Structure 1
Amino acid sequence: MTVPKSILVVEDDSDINRLLCNIIKKNGYTPKPAYSGTEATIYIDQQQWDMVLLDLMLPGLSGEEILKKVNGEKPTPVIIISAKQETQTKVDTLRAGADDYITKPFDVEEVSARIDSCLRRYQRMTDQESSEFRHKNLVLDTDLQKAWLHGKDLSLTAREYNILVLLLSSPKKVFTKANLFESVWKEKYYGDDNTINVHMSNLRSKLSTADPSEEYIETVWGMGYTLKT
């Protein structure tokens, strides 16, 4: 089952925010409303978004500040939807990293089409890129077969590295012990919990030592393991 793409809608006007969320739902995606720049930063810190729809004139942090924050994270498409119609504002915002700019009042069908178009473009880019995964302070490059935490090399065994690759490749998925064993060990799983428990414990210990302030792997009791958001 494919998880719907999640889109953060940063717009302080509740009617416009609701309208944009309805457009997103009709396109088959999952919207999350935010009504200020401050609220938006909380959601941006909590998870990775597939897209951000962003007003510029916001209470709290401005749209320009939010755009800068989003660009500092993993590449995320951003569409500006603003009442500012000055050409220079559009040029400055696009050069600052926005992917598209729509002026208010907007046409519902146009917004719908631009969301789809932008997401398709990013998907093509992602498919063509080398496989680099990022989560919190962790970076893993499958081309180099290396991982870093806070910019420092993580010394991992082959099993530990492959467990991390699996978790990072599907960050929202809960992997059962059978999933992990058959994917990493390439053998049939017969309920040997101890093997997985030992490797998972060692991996967690290394992550915790390198970054004591964050937790990277979560145990979902009765199910398995997933990335800690």
Structure 2
Amino acid sequence: MSYKILVVEDEPDINGLLVKILKEADYHTIQAFSGTEAKLLMEREIPDAILLDLMLPGMSGEELLHDIRGNQHNNVPVLVISAKDALSDKVSLLKEGADDYVTKPFEPEEVLARIQAALRRVGKDTSARKNLVYKNIKLFTDSRKVTVAGSEIGLTAHEYDILYLLMQNPEKVYSREALYELVWHGGYYGENNTVNVHVSNLRKKLKEKDSGEEYIQTVYGIGFKLQ
């Protein structure tokens, strides 16, 4: 199923970027450039989730969130995307009913991961995504099964999630910090060796099934990518 995401952002470039990110992930999108426009759109059609900027013309993002939580739309996941990065702003919006808070500038993968998590929390199935293929690796998103050169390999949940991220964007270098935040959903403080251990284990498992390929490249000083 392809879910509808309402993007409420007054900056045309950012609004367009979010729509592009969502469409590439097979979501339907609805665009609004003010809080008032978003409220009118929701009176005609209730989206499956909302990406909400705060500094909007007319009705502000905070006012729109309060309105959403006060009427029949109160179960719709709302993800705030804002340049305000103070802890007090985040805490305040989460207390007011936001499901998540992403600060600008944002990474496309983080936005998608947080949308998927928000949809899962309200019981919407986000597993029916496109299967991914890279060289001799096939990743089946419905079953979370992975085969290499035709043979299935057993991956832990975190190993699968790391491989899924890498295969979504084979040319992208993911920093250890980004992988930790996207896979473990927590802050990375530099001394944690968790990412390195999981990537090393994943690399070994891929190598066991396809000894002729080195799938994961370490980009020294930055992170990891597929090669």
TM (norm. structure 1) is 0.52
Aligned ranges for residues 1-229 of structure 1 at < 5 Å? 2=1, 4-71=2-69, 72-74=71-73, 75-123=75-123
**How many Å apart are 1:6 and its aligned residue?**
0.8
**How many Å apart are 1:124 and its aligned residue?**
6.0
User: In structure 2, what is the Cα distance between the partners aligned to 1:19 and 1:124?
Assistant: 24
Any idea what SS the aligned residue of 2:29 has?
strand
Any idea what SS the aligned residue of 1:123 has?
coil
The structure with the larger Rg is 1
Unpaired runs of 5+ residues, structure 1, are 126-229
The percent of aligned pairs where both chains have the same amino acid is 50
User: In structure 2, what is the Cα distance between the partners aligned to 1:60 and 1:24?
Assistant: 26
Unpaired runs of 5+ residues, structure 2, are 126-227
**How many Å apart are 1:18 and its aligned residue?**
0.6
RMSD: 1.4
Change (3 A) 1:92 1:33: same
Given that 1:55 and 1:81 are in contact with CA atoms closer than 8 Å, whether structure 2 keeps it comes out as yes
**Equivalent in the alignment of 2:176:** none
**Equivalent in the alignment of 2:148:** none
User: In structure 1, what is the Cα distance between the partners aligned to 2:42 and 2:115?
Assistant: 19
Equivalenced residue count is: 123
Given that 1:44 and 1:70 are in contact with CA atoms closer than 8 Å, whether structure 2 keeps it comes out as no
Change (3 A) 1:91 1:29: same
Any idea what SS the aligned residue of 2:123 has?
helix
Runs of 4 or more, structure 1, over 2 Å off, are none
Any idea what SS the aligned residue of 1:38 has?
helix
Given that 1:9 and 1:52 are in contact with CA atoms closer than 8 Å, whether structure 2 keeps it comes out as yes
Q: What is the letter of the counterpart of residue 43 of structure 2?
A: D
Q: What is the letter of the counterpart of residue 9 of structure 2?
A: E
**How many Å apart are 1:73 and its aligned residue?**
2.1
Given that 1:24 and 1:30 are in contact with CA atoms closer than 8 Å, whether structure 2 keeps it comes out as yes
TM (norm. structure 2) is 0.52
Any idea what SS the aligned residue of 1:17 has?
helix
User: In structure 1, what is the Cα distance between the partners aligned to 2:21 and 2:106?
Assistant: 12
User: In structure 1, what is the Cα distance between the partners aligned to 2:67 and 2:32?
Assistant: 15
User: In structure 2, what is the Cα distance between the partners aligned to 1:77 and 1:112?
Assistant: 13
**How many Å apart are 1:33 and its aligned residue?**
0.8
